[in-house]
Amino acid sequence: MKTVSLQMTTDQASANAKALDLYARVLMGQFNIVAELFRHDSLMARDPNSPTGGRPVTLDEMERADLLCDELKRVLGLERGASFGVGSKAIVKDAHRSYEVLCVLQHALAFDRNPDGKSVHHDGLRLRYTDDPAPTATITDSEQAASPGDVLGIWAQKHGVSFVSRSAGQYSTDTISRDALLELARGAATSAGT
């Protein structure tokens, strides 16, 4: 099995969490999430006369977006306000996968912001809808993270270990702190006589 590692800032991770949420919701038929983008100044209308090339969306355009989203629901046989749930077998596997990665990413971000918090995002991935291996997300301080080229990084990659900072949420069982890994490596070197 191949895995993917992706490194990004917490701001980039937050933007990716929003994108995963949007994608999963659209695949579940929750098209009104798109209409919400109109209401929250996330979308701009094209305006060639504006210095930026765009302008805020008007109230009329927001209402039209709502109507178009409702029409999309009707095309799928869904009533206004109805959609499939995340656990529905009627939705495609990519919706389930997106949801699972989203939960893990939101958990890591929530724990990083407030380790003692009790929000829904602190719960992480509680319900699984795929048979895929559970995704993992860790947040590290760049000063504490080992670079892939250093000796410790090479040892960790060889043994399938990833680093997390002491303050970060440890979501998977194969993550340990850099300090603990250093202690482990020193102990192995001492017992080997090197």
User: What is the per-residue pLDDT across 42-88, written as a single tens digit (0 to 9) for each?
Assistant: 889 999 999 999 999 999 999 999 999 999 999 999 999 899 999 99
Of residues 173, 23, 117, the one with CA closest to residue 162:
173
Distance from the first to the final alpha carbon of the chain: 34
Q: Which two tokens stand for residue 23?
A: 């994608």
Compute the distance between CA of residue 158 and CA of residue 187 in angstroms, rounded to an integer. Answer: 17
When pLDDT is averaged across residues 143-163 and rounded to a whole number, the result is: 55
169 with 107: CB under 8 angstroms? Answer: yes
Of residues 136, 147, 132, 86, the one with CA closest to residue 108:
136
When pLDDT is averaged across residues 95-104 and rounded to a whole number, the result is: 96
Specify if 36 maps to a domain: no
Specify if 120 maps to a domain: no
Specify if 39 maps to a domain: no
Specify if 6 maps to a domain: no
What is the total count of domains within the chain?
1
Specify if 49 maps to a domain: no
Query: What pTM, to 2 d.p., does this model score?
Result: 0.70
11 with 22: CB under 8 angstroms? Answer: no
**Strands 44-46 vs 175-177: parallel, antiparallel or unpaired:** unpaired
Range(s) of the domain holding residue 179 = 138-194
91 with 28: CB under 8 angstroms? Answer: yes
Specify if 37 maps to a domain: no
Specify if 171 maps to a domain: yes
Res 143 pLDDT > 90: no
